[in-house]
């Protein structure tokens, strides 16, 4: 059997070998490059690709999730980064593009893309996931990318705002029809942030992703990047920023991307609705490898930028074991973890990880009191067969 045929056969069985390159890819933990056989997960169907069916109008629009089993770069390639559009993908001409800053602005601004690019330039590597990421897509609606643009806050300060301003609204070019009170209304996608949250998060107006101009599906020519918040806050095709004295209550602030969670209070269940904003502490096991009697468990962990304290792994319901964290010095990126475990007997096994940040927030065992599909950071149990 020649090498190509052998590799194809192993791949179909889920037993591919990692570490085939002579040297690690820059930014990839060296342990991930050891020549070890990959133990297949039994919770992933053979036909899982992370791609939606259908013809792509724009490159990358069918990427629903990346396959974490195949991680080979700390920075997620553009083609592997998940894509979501609420009103379809909007093609905006960079040559005629302009961003307006208005509402209750003291000095309204109108800026072309060239003028935005001429402003102070920053690059930040940050992770974010879709607010609806879950085990259904094997936690693959997440990515860690390099975003280049200009800081938002200095631009807002340049425009200035009236004393009564409460929020900043971010309006996108994509739009759709919403049914309200028995009538239909055309609405643009929009999200908002308080001035306090903007100061805390220090968002950027990004025009590049991984060193290249934004693609259509990732928000060309300009998008908002809010470190530590879910993907819905990273407004794509951004065209207008508005200072407002009022809370924004359009669909994606008031009715959608709202979490309904129950809590016990004085012997009764109290139901609370909150807006999807900060990423909850999350971890996921991505790969298991074997070399002889030695097994290695690999995974990723992330949150809202609060430094991670620890990641622990439990095998077959046993004691929690501390994993080794691959820290990169920026808490808004994801952290990769590894754990070496003794020999596993032939047969089926369960593996699960949990992350705890330095404020003591731990990934929950389950979310049975949650009634909406957002912020699904419960423990993600994986199954393998040795």
In a domain, 113, yes or no: yes
Q: Coil, strand, or helix at residue 264?
A: strand
In a domain, 37, yes or no: no
CA distance 13 to 150: 47
Give residue for tokens 């070998």: 17
pLDDT at 328: 86
Q: Which of 43-47, 103-107, 199-203, 291-295 has the lowest mean pLDDT?
A: 291-295
pLDDT at 19: 44
31 — pLDDT class (breaks 50, 70, 90):
low
pLDDT at 24: 44
In a domain, 212, yes or no: yes
Which run of H or of E encompasses 288?
Answer: strand 282-291
Closest-CA residue to 187 (of 207, 209, 200, 172): 172
Return the percentage of the chain with pLDDT > 90, whole number: 88
pLDDT at 50: 97
Closest-CA residue to 74 (of 147, 149, 143, 148): 143
Task: Specify the number of domains making up the chain.
Answer: 1
Structural domain that includes position 133: 98-261
33 — pLDDT class (breaks 50, 70, 90):
low
In a domain, 297, yes or no: no
Instruction: State yes or no: pLDDT of 11 exceeds 80.
Output: no
Q: Which of 14-18, 60-64, 192-196 has the lowest mean pLDDT?
A: 14-18
Here the tokens at position 306 are 């609060």
Check residues 157 and 19 and name the one with the higher pLDDT: 157
pLDDT at 329: 83
pLDDT at 36: 81
Closest-CA residue to 117 (of 204, 200, 201, 193): 204
For 287-290, the CB contacts below 8 A with 24+ separation are 287/18, 287/32, 287/38, 287/68, 287/69, 287/71, 288/38, 288/39, 288/41, 288/351, 288/382, 288/384, 289/18, 289/34, 289/36, 289/37, 289/38, 289/39, 290/36, 290/37, 290/38, 290/39, 290/386
202 — pLDDT class (breaks 50, 70, 90):
very high
Mean per-residue pLDDT of the chain: 92
Return the percentage of the chain with pLDDT > 70, whole number: 91
Instruction: State yes or no: pLDDT of 385 exceeds 60.
Output: yes
CATH code of 154's domain: 3.90.420.10
In a domain, 257, yes or no: yes
CA distance 18 to 10: 12
Instruction: State yes or no: pLDDT of 378 exceeds 90.
Output: yes
Closest-CA residue to 205 (of 106, 82, 362, 100): 100
In a domain, 216, yes or no: yes
**Strand ordering across the sheet containing 308-315:** 321-322, 308-315, 348-357, 382-385
Instruction: Say if CB 177 and CB 183 are below 8 A apart.
Output: no
Predicted TM-score (pTM) of the model is: 0.92
Instruction: State yes or no: pLDDT of 1 exceeds 50.
Output: no
pLDDT at 32: 62
pLDDT at 30: 63
CA distance 189 to 191: 7
Q: Over the stretch 117-172, which tens digit does the pLDDT of each residue have?
A: 999 999 999 999 999 999 999 999 999 999 999 999 999 999 999 999 999 999 99
335 — pLDDT class (breaks 50, 70, 90):
very high
In a domain, 182, yes or no: yes
pLDDT at 28: 52
Instruction: State yes or no: pLDDT of 252 exceeds 70.
Output: yes
Q: Over the stretch 48-84, which tens digit does the pLDDT of each residue have?
A: 999 999 999 999 999 999 999 999 899 999 999 999 9
Instruction: State yes or no: pLDDT of 184 exceeds 80.
Output: yes
The full 3-state SS of 151-164, as one line of letters, equals EHHHHHHHHCECCC
In a domain, 230, yes or no: yes
């Amino acid at each position: 059997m020649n090498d190509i045929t052998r590799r194809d056969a192993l791949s179909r069985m889920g037993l591919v070998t990692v570490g085939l390159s002579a040297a690690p890819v820059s930014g990839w933990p060296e342990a991930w490059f050891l020549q070890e056989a990959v133990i297949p997960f039994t919770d992933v169907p053979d036909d899982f690709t992370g791609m939606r069916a259908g013809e792509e109008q724009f490159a990358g629009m069918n990427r629903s999730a990346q396959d974490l089993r195949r991680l080979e770069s700390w920075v997620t390639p553009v083609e592997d980064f998940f894509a979501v559009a609420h009103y379809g993908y909007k093609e905006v001409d960079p040559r005629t593009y302009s961003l307006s800053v208005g509402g209750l602005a003291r000095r309204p601004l109108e800026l072309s893309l060239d003028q935005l690019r001429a402003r102070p330039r920053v690059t930040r590597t940050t992770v974010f996931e879709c607010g609806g990421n879950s085990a259904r897509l094997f936690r693959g609606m997440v990515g860690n990318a390099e975003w280049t643009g200009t800081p938002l806050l200095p631009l807002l300060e340049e425009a200035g705002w009236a004393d009564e301003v409460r929020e900043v609204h971010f309006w996108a070019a994509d739009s759709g029809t919403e049914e309200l009170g028995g009538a239909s209304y055309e609405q643009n996608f929009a999200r908002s942030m308080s001035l306090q949250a903007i100061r805390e998060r220090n968002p950027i107006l990004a025009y590049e992703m991984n060193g290249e101009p934004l693609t259509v599906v990732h928000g060309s020519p300009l998008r908002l990047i809010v470190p530590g918040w879910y993907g819905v806050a990273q407004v794509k095709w951004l065209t207008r920023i508005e200072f407002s004295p009022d809370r924004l209550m359009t669909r994606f602030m008031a009715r959608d991307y709202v979490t309904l969670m129950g809590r016990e209070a004085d012997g009764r269940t109290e139901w609370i609705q909150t807006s999807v904003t900060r990423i909850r502490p999350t971890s996921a096991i991505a790969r298991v490898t074997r070399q002889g009697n030695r097994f290695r468990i690999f995974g990723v962990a992330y949150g809202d930028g609060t430094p991670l304290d620890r990641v622990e792994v439990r095998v077959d319901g046993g004691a929690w074991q501390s994993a080794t964290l691959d820290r990169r010095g920026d808490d808004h990126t994801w952290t990769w973890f590894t754990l070496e475990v003794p020999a596993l007997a032939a047969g089926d096994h369960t593996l699960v990880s949990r992350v705890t940040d330095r404020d003591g927030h731990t990934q929950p065992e389950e979310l049975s009191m949650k009634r909406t599909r957002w912020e699904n950071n419960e423990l993600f149990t994986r199954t393998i067969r040795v």
